[in-house]
């Protein structure tokens, strides 16, 4: 099962918690805001939920295959 992971760029505070938690799945865009990498879709569900809920601005959304938001 893959996931659709998104970052709301308007809300992102660039704290770097997502990058620190999973540098293979999150990085920085050209504006130094959080950016989702392709590997994010393959992380375990619980890890993605924890990362999304640890975002200080709750700017990370995780959607399942049915397009239901499962986090934050």
Burial degree of 27 (CB within 10 A; 0-12, 13-18, 19+)? middle
* pLDDT (average), residues 36-62: 97
User: How does pLDDT run across 5-31, given as a tens digit for each residue?
Assistant: 999 999 999 999 999 999 999 999 999
- Give the domains, in start order, of the chain with CATH numbers: 4-71 (3.30.70.20)
DSSP secondary structure code for residue 44 in this structure: -
Average pLDDT, rounded, for the chain? 96
* pLDDT (average), residues 62-68: 93
**HSE-CB for 44 with a 13 A CA cutoff:** 4
**Cα torsion angle, 21, 68, 10, 5, sign:** positive
Rounded CA-CA distance 6/3 in Å is 10
């Amino acid at each position: 099962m893959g996931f659709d992971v998104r970052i709301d760029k308007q809300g992102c505070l660039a704290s770097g918690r997502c990058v620190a938690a999973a540098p293979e799945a999150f990085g920085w865009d050209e504006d130094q805001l959080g950016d989702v990498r392709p590997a994010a879709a393959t992380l375990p569900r619980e890890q993605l939920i924890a990362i999304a809920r640890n975002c200080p601005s709750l700017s990370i959304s995780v959607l399942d295959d049915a397009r239901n938001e499962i986090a934050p």
